[in-house]
Amino acid sequence: MNEFSIICRILGTLFNRAPQDPLLQPLMTMVAEGKLKQAWPLEQNALLDRLQQNCELSVIESDYQVLFVGESAKVAICRSDYTDGTEHEVRQFLIARGMPLSDTAVDQFGSLLLAASWLEDQAAEDEVQAQIILFDEYLLPWCGQFLGKVEAHATSGFYRTLAIISREALQVLREELESE
For residue 78, what are the β-bridge partners? Answer: 108
Per-residue pLDDT of the chain (180 residues; tens, 9 = 90+): 588 899 999 999 999 999 999 999 999 999 999 999 988 999 999 999 999 999 999 999 999 999 999 999 999 999 999 999 899 999 999 999 888 898 888 999 999 999 999 998 886 555 788 899 999 999 999 999 999 999 999 999 999 999 999 999 999 999 988 887
Alpha helices per DSSP H over the chain: 3-16, 25-32, 36-39, 45-53, 57-68, 87-96, 109-122, 127-133, 140-153, 157-179
In the chain, the domains with their CATH numbers are: 3-178 (1.10.3480.10)
